[in-house]
């Protein structure tokens, strides 16, 4: 292993290690909720290892509890995860040609959080760096899920409820720094929040679908508002 590769792996470990603090407790919350929903440990672990999409997995549990059909759950998960395709495409233009064979593996490991870490380290984007960051996050999520399922019963109820809030705290931690870079990012974020709250309060859509509708409507409004501002300039 070359010195450069060792250095890139070390840098990837440094950059990806903080994700463990966010992923592990949230994955524990997911494992606990999955157990309370009636899933087996095999099914629960499989969702984290094969689907590997935090927000979609929590939505999946809500839809299961609501008795939604498998086809509807798959469609909802697909729509919610479409953003990962754009993230992967955005990163792929910065990669060297020798990483082409690993693009499916890289794309599978892309999450909102890993994409944020990799985006802030574009000067280090390489196969060793990306795979290290992705593997750390994936390992934390998969292991946290299993641990949450197995030890959930011994966790106090108050702590169980607080673990569920970790998902929102992690998204906020990723969102707020972007406002320092460009305050215009605040507008689509607020549009998304207001749109979802309005849909949720009306009760027109069932749990999970209100999130999908909020994403689609807020994204469309964001494109219109941001595009109009760009044309005005």
Identify the CA nearest to 97 among candidates 127, 122, 118. Answer: 127
Whether residue 114 contacts residue 16, with contact meaning beta carbons closer than 8 Å, is answered with yes
Q: What is the mean pLDDT of the chain?
A: 80
Q: Please state whether 126 falls in left (phi above 0), alpha (psi between -120 and 50) or beta.
A: beta
For residue range 102-159, list pLDDT tens digits in order: 888 888 999 988 988 888 888 888 889 999 999 999 999 999 999 999 987 676 766 6
Whole-structure pTM value: 0.74
């Amino acid at each position: 292993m070359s010195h450069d590769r060792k250095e890139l792996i070390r840098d990837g470990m440094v950059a990806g290690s903080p994700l463990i603090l966010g992923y592990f407790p949230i994955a524990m919350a997911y494992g606990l909720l999955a157990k309370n929903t009636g899933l087996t440990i095999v099914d629960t672990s499989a969702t984290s290892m094969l689907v590997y999409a935090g927000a979609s997995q929590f939505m999946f549990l809500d839809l299961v509890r609501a008795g939604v059909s498998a086809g509807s759950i798959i469609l909802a998960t697909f729509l919610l995860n479409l953003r990962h395709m754009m993230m992967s495409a955005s990163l792929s233009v910065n990669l060297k040609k020798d990483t082409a064979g690993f693009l499916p593996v890289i794309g599978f490991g892309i999450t909102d959080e890993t994409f944020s870490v990799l985006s802030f380290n574009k000067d280090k984007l390489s196969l060793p760096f990306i795979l290290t960051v992705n593997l750390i996050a994936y390992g934390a999520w998969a292991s946290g899920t299993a641990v949450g399922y197995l030890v959930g019963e011994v966790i106090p109820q108050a702590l169980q409820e607080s673990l569920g809030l970790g998902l929102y705290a992690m998204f906020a931690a990723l969102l707020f720094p972007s406002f320092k870079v460009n305050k215009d990012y605040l507008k689509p974020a607020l549009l998304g929040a207001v749109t979802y709250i309005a849909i949720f309060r009306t009760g027109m859509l069932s749990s999970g679908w209100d999130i999908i509708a909020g994403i689609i409507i807020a994204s469309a409004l964001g494109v219109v508002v941001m595009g109009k501002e760009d044309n005005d300039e």
